[in-house]
Copies of this chain bind each other. A is one copy, B any other.
Amino acid sequence: MKAGALELGHASKMTKNGVNRGMSILDLFIRIIAIIATLGSAIAMGTTNETLPFFTQFVRFKAKYSDLPTFTFFVVANAIVSAYLVLSLGLSIYHIMRNRAQATRIALIFFDVAMLGLLTAGASASAAIVYLAHKGNTKTNWFPICQQYDSFCHRTSGSLVGSFAGVVLIILLVFLSAIALSRQSLNH
């Protein structure tokens, strides 16, 4: 009885497995791109500092990313997410080999979503500060600092890009995992 059912569904299962494997390989690729994006962001922000070419007897004008706690959080968040993504490569490869794995896929969705939260938090908190640095705020007397620290501002703004790209990629990863989970129960 079981053998007959297996034979009947054999052809469609072969195609299904092929598509599932393709999705798992896509998952692996997206993870690698996301690692590059988040790691690049962390490094770009982490190495940001600018010393202005003029100075008084007592003060040298310097700007470092760690002057603003939010930027420190940004670096930490990006570093954690890229480290997690490197670790998750193992599971991703495992899913290429074993299509029917379920518990690990659910675990992956859960951690992906948690890391998505962390990365989004870091990126958007920094975006709020970068916006303030560019525009300032007259109501609160917070002056724009980008006029003086021009290269500092360019660098910090630029490093947001990789982080937001990482956010989009991780949303895609969760979507792929959800589809993979549901496809396992098709044709039954």
Contacts and interface: CB of A to CB of B under 8 A. Distances in A.
A127 B129 CA distance: 11
B120 A117 contact: yes
A161 interface: no
Interface in A167-188: 167, 171, 174-175, 177-179, 181-182, 184-185, 188
Contacts of A177: 178
Interface in A63-77: 63, 67-70
Interface string A121-157: 1111111110111000101111101000000000000
A51 to B, nearest CB: 13
A178 B181 contact: yes
Given A102-B182, A106-B178, A124-B120, A70 B131 contact: yes
In the assembly, how many copies of this chain are there? 2
B182 A114 contact: no
B128 A70 contact: yes
A113 B116 contact: yes
Interface string A6-44: 000000000000000000000000000000000000000
Contacts of A128: 70, 125-126, 128-129
A70 B137 CA distance: 11
A127 B20 CA distance: 41
Nearest to A110: B175
A95 interface: no
A99 to B, nearest CB: 12
Closest 10 CB pairs of A and B: A185-B185, A121-B124, A125-B128, A67-B139, A120-B120, A142-B142, A109-B178, A124-B125, A181-B181, A184-B185
